[in-house]
Amino acid sequence: MRRILVDPKIARAPRIVIDDPNTVHHVSRVLRMQVGDALECLDGQGGRYQGAITALSDTAISVSIEWHSKDNDPAVRGITLVQALIKPTRFDWIVEKAAELGAERLVPVITERSVIQLSREQTHKHQRWQRIADQALEQCGRATRMRVEPARSLADWLRDCAKTPATILIPTLEGDRVALAEAARSVQAGLPVAILIGPEGDFSPAELEAAKKQGAIPVSLGTLTLRSETAAVALIAILQHLRLPAHS
pLDDT in tens, 114-157: 876 665 556 678 899 999 999 999 999 888 999 999 999 999 99
Could you report the per-residue pLDDT of 11-45, keeping only the tens digit for each?
Answer: 988 999 999 999 999 999 999 999 999 999 999 99
Is pLDDT of 74 > 70?
A: no
Q: Which sequence spans correspond to the domains of the chain?
A: 2-70, 74-243
Q: What is residue 247's predicted lDDT score, i.e. its pLDDT?
A: 42
Q: Which CATH number fits domain 2-70: 3.40.50.1980, 3.30.70.260, 2.40.240.20, 3.30.2450.30?
A: 2.40.240.20
Distance, in Å, from the CA atom of 12 to the CA atom of 31, rounded to the nearest integer, reads 23
Average pLDDT over residues 168-187: 82
The CATH H-level (homologous superfamily) assignment of domain 74-243 is SPOUT methyltransferase, trefoil knot domain (3.40.1280.10)
Q: What pLDDT is stored for residue 5 in this prediction?
A: 94
Label residue 91 by pLDDT band (50, 70, 90).
very high
Give yes or no on whether 2-70 and 74-243 have one common fold.
Answer: no
